[in-house]
Structure 1
Amino acid sequence: MTAVWEAVHRWSADGSRAALARVVDSSAAGPRAPGTAMAVSAAGRVVGSISGGCIDGELCARVPAVLDSGVPERIRYATGADALAPSLPCGGTLDVLVEPVDRSLRGVLPPLVASLRRGVPVALATVLTASAPGPGRHTLVPGPGGRVDLPVDDDALTQVRDLWAAGTTAPLDLVDRCGRELRVFLQSFPAPPRMLVFGADDFAAALTRMGHFLGYHVTLCDARPAFATAARFPAADEVVVSWPHEYLNAVSVTPSTVICVLTHDAKFEVPLLAAALRTEAGYIGALGSRRTHADRVRRLRAAGVTEAELARLAAPIGLDLGAETPEETAVSIAAEMVARCRGGTGARLRDVDSPIHRGGVGKPVPRVGV
């Protein structure tokens, strides 16, 4: 996602004409979630993807007309009866906004991209109502107390900030100060979730690479300075030399945090896992054989860890993929993390009847200011 905004910013700074396509609404069965973006330059360069292929070419073909007119265009794609028409053969609907990178968008790009680079939470509000184009079409939504340049009352602005704080990316139905309906797309860019990897070995190196690939802010922690070095873990955002449980007790852990313990040493594992299992971390896993895990459980119980806390522990860590190498093990761990955090089963898709795309199920469009 960041690559798309970086490309738009770079082209804008170079004076190149470009357009931005974004999913601004979708059904539960739609292939991509709101906020999915693709950048297309007038020279035909493309960064990102809206659908994974089935409508991307058609969207690119619309860009010259949008650039010539300077007027944003909204298109709805759905499953069509005509196999030759642009549609979503896998089902669902997508509402896509294609807009030129104009004065309004250029005005928010520098602070938006700066926030993304620093991992600072930010949101972008885009007015979708056709009668409200022009320079004020985009505004950044800062933190509490910051100014939001939308023509709605203070109560509605407070609700918009609350939705952003909750990480909402969705179209909002607002009412402006004159009582007119105003539709706004709120795109939230939360700080990246954290992955804490404890233990500095080849398995940890592979897992930090996987975590970086998945968009986590990755920290590698180990008490041994000879092993915990930036040179050995180039994919980690930070490498910390510290006793693992002391480091964990000193950092903020939220439900979006994942904790992976690969230390293979009880003197590190027991105090670390005892502390981890009392946090709000969304996923906690530990590497080791079943024999190692049985001994680990015995030690944790002796340390006062409850049965309810032990039930949160994914150990032995990962899904049953038959993994052998560090890289295969990293895939196994990442697959279990995604399944746990997204509510998946970990089963083969061919063997289950549940929806493939689960985002947005049961989530109505928020109505603000009414």
Structure 2
Amino acid sequence: MLELARELLPLLRRGEAVAVVTVARVARSAPRGAGAAMAVTGAGEVIGSISGGCVEGDAVLLATEVLATGLPRRATLGFTDDAAHAAGLACGGSVEVIVHRVTPDDEVAIGALEAADADLPAAVGIVLGGAAMGRAVPLEPGAAETTRTLATDMLAVVHLPRPRLVVIGAGEHAMALARVASAAGFIVAVCDVWERLVTPERFPSAELLVVATPADELETLVGASPQRAAVCVLTHDERVDVPAIARALRLDVGFVGAMGARSTVAHREVLLRAAGVTDEEVARLRSPLGLDLGGVSPEESAIAALAEIVAARHGGSGAPLRDGDGPLHRRTAAPTCATDFEGAAR
């Protein structure tokens, strides 16, 4: 539900009720996990998605019914046997959903939606059974760090602030990385010493542009949760990149990467150690930055860099999916709506 905050709040503020379908549990394979939500308005508009499309039709029918009656529903949608899967149904799994109506006077739901819309930590519980089924109950964001079904038969839906990407340097590669990272949902900040390069025209998708010595501004740029931030150094100037990398590593930023040829990487490590950076800290530096995708253009290099950042956030291997086995969507018992780098392989 919280992932739909930007779309739902204007409707609720106009006095319209909506029906929300939220995934409570997933069996076998499904494109999205617990907490994924879609909504149906009184005009029949569908907002969001809970799967790749294979159960959306049934979900819309349920939501339309709940919107009309006001009575919450709990249902299992999808395919639970091999015969159904063999018949050509794509996902082969099923999702358990809770469908409930959110009204303009629901202060708990609206408060959580407003916090999520402001990109603040937010959490709300949705009761899954009994006389209170479908009711939204307040939760402290710190008390529920992941979206999950609680033992009390309640789904905790959590919004974590968007992850940050701090791009050090404002050249062509930085422009490309800012574009793809913004499209992937990162808050992008760009910092360089050259005022002519750090402009809105060159970085239209960046949310913060800073002209300064990067090392001096890095603590502010990564924000209050450095573990949820990534810093990518693309300056190719050791006078700028060595102090910035050293500062990022000492701030315990979740992901620290730097572009450069292997000879540059080796020379930079010497300079970092001379600056007092420990071997353990140097080992955290991802350089040369990016997965081996074979591309050479700034855009292709940006995709390779972002791929490594995403793999690090989610603990992915970066290997082709066809070379693996088991479920494509790896989830723990407590899947998250938004993850960070903490605990991921470095």
Q: Distance in 1 between matches of 2:182 and 2:318?
A: 21
Please report how far the alpha carbon of residue 263 of structure 1 lies from its aligned counterpart in structure 2 after TM superposition: 1.0
Gaps of 5+ in 2: 336-346
Q: What is the letter of the counterpart of residue 198 of structure 2?
A: A
Tell me whether 1:198 sits opposite 2:168 in the alignment: yes
2:68 aligned with 1:96:
no
**Structure 1 residues 167-178: aligned runs within 5 Å:** 167-174=145-152
Listed as ranges, the matches of 1:25-174 within 5 Å are 25-27=25-27, 29-81=29-81, 83=84, 89-102=90-103, 106-133=106-133, 137-142=135-140, 162-164=142-144, 167-174=145-152
More deviation, 95-104/283-292 = 95-104
CA change 1:15–1:163 in 2 (3 A) is closer
Give the aligned residue type for 2:151: D
In structure 2, the partner of 1:218 is 188
- The residue correspondences of 1:338-357 to structure 2 (distance < 5 A) are 338-353=310-325, 355-357=327-329
Letter paired with 1:244:
P
TM-score when normalising by structure 1: 0.81
Which segments of structure 1 move beyond 4 Å, counting only runs of 4 or more? 84-89
Q: What amino acid is the match of 2:43? A: A
- Distance change (3 Å), C-alpha of 1:344 and 1:203: same
Distance 1:163 1:111, change over 3 A: closer
Distance (whole Å) between structure 1 residues aligned to residue 119 and residue 87 of structure 2: 36
Label 1:101 to 1:290 Cα distance change in 2 as closer, same or farther (>3 A). same
Secondary structure (helix, strand or coil) at the match of 1:311 reads helix
Q: Which moved more, 1:337-346 or 1:37-46?
A: 37-46
Amino acid across the alignment from 2:203: F
SS in 2 for 1:35: coil
Aligned length: 332
CA distance 1:276–1:84, shift in 2 (3 Å):
closer
Query: C-alpha distance in 2, partners of 1:88/1:23?
Result: 19
TM-score (norm 2): 0.86
For residues 12 and 201 of structure 1, what CA distance do their matches in structure 2 show?
A: 44
Deviation of the 1:2 alpha carbon: 6.3
Matched residue SS, 1:218? strand
Alignment partner of 1:208 out of 172, 178, 188 = 178
TM-superposed CA distance for 1:345, in Å, is 0.9
CA-atom RMSD, angstroms?
2.7
Matched residue type, 2:11: W
Letter in 2 for 1:36: A
Q: CA deviation at 1:302?
A: 2.1
Gaps of 5+ in 1: 143-160, 175-182, 364-370
Distance 2:28 2:275 in 1: 45
Partner residue, 2:282: 310
Letter in 1 for 2:91: C
